[in-house]
A = this chain, B = another copy of it.
Amino acid sequence: MLQTAIEMDKAAVILKLLGDKTRLSMLKILDDNDCCVCEFVEIFKASQPSISQHLRKLRDVGLVKEDRRGQWIFYSVNQNSEYYPFIGKILEQLPDQSYKLKELEKQGTRITCC
Q: Are B6 and A93 in contact (CB under 8 A)?
A: yes
Chain copies in the assembly?
2
CB-nearest residue of chain B relative to A3?
A: B93
Cβ-based interface call for A18 (8 A): yes
Q: List which A1-28 residues lie within 8 A (CB) of chain B.
A: 1, 3, 5-9, 11-21, 24-25, 28
Identify which of B16, B17, B94 contacts A20 (C-beta below 8 A).
B16
The answer to whether A89 touches B95 (Cβ under 8 A) is: no
Could you tell me if B15 and A94 are in contact, using CB atoms closer than 8 angstroms? Answer: no
B89 touches A5 (CB 8 A): no
| Residues of the B chain whose Cβ atoms lie less than 8 Å from the Cβ of A92 | 1
- Give the distance in Å from the alpha carbon of A90 to the alpha carbon of B7 in the complex: 12
